[in-house]
């Protein structure tokens, strides 16, 4: 059987690269994308390689970045542009294989095992893809190569990004000379807490982790321990899956509010709007759900307040008012009366909407569900805000403002 060849294709400074491509004579100019360029406390979402050479990092505050690089060009994010380019890159990758799996907006797996007769050896294919993406989008791609997804991912994260060519092939028979020399936190799947835990055990490198017997990991962490051990040994049996983002276990929406919400009337407005968004997504996926969850964070940074509670309905639904009444009941039951700054609603315990059983208790159920699908068709044709509830015309409403955003940032 022919050995698999998997690519992890990662876009360098994705947001910043797209913004730089819009600027004429951008060579040599440091640029960052910030959620709020007007505020000194705004956070850097993406920094171009030139800005990074000045020490600017993703996630740091604007004033810190400006101190390091006073000549910094700061631009607002344009999320729709980034989504459009991400889709364009997926279409480019699909010209080389039909097995492409988006991992994030700027990372994608692809299986090129069966593409080599058409496009050449793995390095040759990787270079063609790099050139193709740069020509079409002006974005530089880094590519990690491995016989499975975990090797390709670690090749990209730890070696391709530091390699001048932007391409690295991480092979199992060279792990002792490459991956195992790295600090343990560089391994895929290890966060800061696990890293600290492993270091307390005397495990400093990935190689030291790999040297320990599998049974020790299974005894301590069960299946998660086995996955850690397998990752250290470059083992992964998950295929590149073109439907990996289908079949969600839950559908949810959260909202960070622009100010403290302290009255029930105001809070009920955003609760209803979140239920509207969740139910629209459920209908788009043709599912109904039985379990409704409400998450709330208080406005105080000093004293953490809030709650996460859920309730299960007698029958599954994707009708807005069913979900709202359950959410409203949970909220009023567990809210401590303190101002809130973030609220989220989710619908889980999902099932296909065409498998609904006949109801003896809600004779209007089918009409209510059908109404939601009709409203969706109108919104799809005329825009999300073409049909809004009266409560969304109040000052507490966030619907119109949210319709202008993607992922919390303006389109």
Q: Could you give the residue numbers annotated as active site?
A: 107
User: Using the 8-state DSSP alphabet, how is residue 38 labeled?
Assistant: T
Tell me the backbone φ, ψ of residue 256, rounded to 5 degrees. -90, 120
Task: Identify any residues that bridge with 142 across adjacent strands, giving them in sequence order.
Answer: 10
Q: Under DSSP, is residue 295 helix (H, G, I), strand (E, B) or coil?
A: strand
What length is written for the chain? 411
Burial of residue 118 (number of CB atoms within 10 Å: 0-12, 13-18, 19+): exposed
Helix residue ranges, H only, 236-360: 264-284, 320-334
Report d(CA 114, CA 306) in Å as an integer: 52
User: Using the 8-state DSSP alphabet, how is residue 363 labeled?
Assistant: T
Structure tokens at 27: 């060579």
- Tell me: is residue 265 an annotated ligand-binding position: no
Contact 115, 94 (CB under 8 A): no
Contact 219, 303 (CB under 8 A): no
Nearest to 250 by CA among 288, 218, 277: 288
- Tell me: is residue 10 an annotated ligand-binding position: yes
Residue ranges at the known binding site for Mg(2+) = 10, 106
Annotation: binding site:
10, 106
């Amino acid at each position: 059987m022919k050995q698999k060849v998997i690519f992890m294709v990662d876009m360098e400074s994705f947001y910043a690269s797209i913004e730089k491509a819009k600027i004429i004579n951008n060579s040599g100019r440091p640029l960052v994308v910030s959620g709020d360029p007007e505020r000194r406390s705004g956070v850097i979402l993406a920094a171009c390689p030139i800005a990074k050479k000045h020490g600017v990092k993703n996630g740091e505050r604007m004033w810190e970045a400006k101190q390091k690089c006073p000549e910094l060009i700061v631009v607002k994010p344009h999320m729709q542009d980034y989504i459009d380019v991400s889709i364009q890159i997926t279409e480019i990758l699909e010209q080389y294989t039909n097995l492409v799996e988006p991992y994030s907006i700027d990372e994608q797996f692809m299986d090129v095992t069966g593409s080599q007769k058409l496009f050449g050896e793995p390095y040759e294919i990787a270079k063609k893809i790099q050139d193709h993406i740069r020509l079409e989008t002006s974005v530089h791609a880094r590519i990690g190569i491995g016989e499975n997804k975990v090797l390709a991912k670690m090749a990209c994260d730890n070696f391709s990004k530091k390699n001048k060519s932007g391409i690295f092939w991480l092979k199992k028979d060279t792990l002792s000379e490459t991956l195992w020399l790295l600090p343990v936190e560089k391994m895929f799947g290890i966060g800061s807490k696990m890293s600290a835990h492993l270091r307390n055990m005397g495990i400093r490198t990935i190689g030291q982790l790999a040297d320990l017997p599998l049974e020790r990991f299974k005894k301590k962490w069960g299946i998660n321990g086995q996955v850690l051990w397998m990752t250290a040994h470059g083992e992964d049996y998950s295929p590149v899956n073109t439907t990996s983002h289908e079949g969600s276990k839950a559908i949810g929406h959260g909202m960070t509010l622009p100010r403290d919400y302290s009255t029930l009337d105001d809070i009920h407005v955003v609760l209803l709007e979140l239920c509207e968004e969740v139910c629209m997504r459920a209908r788009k996926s043709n599912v109904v759900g039985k379990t409704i969850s409400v998450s709330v964070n208080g406005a105080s940074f000093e004293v953490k307040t809030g709650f996460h509670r859920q309730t299960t309905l007698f029958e599954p639904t994707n009708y807005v008012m069913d979900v709202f009444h359950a959410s409203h009941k949970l909220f009023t039951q567990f809210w401590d009366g303190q101002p809130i700054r973030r609220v989220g609603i989710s619908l889980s315990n999902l099932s296909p909407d065409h498998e609904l059983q006949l109801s003896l208790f809600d004779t209007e159920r089918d009409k209510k569900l059908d109404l939601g699908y009709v409203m969706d068709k109108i919104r799809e044709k005329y825009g999300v805000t073409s049909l809004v509830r009266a409560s969304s015309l109040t000052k507490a409403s966030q619907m119109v403002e949210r319709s202008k955003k993607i992922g919390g940032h303006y389109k």
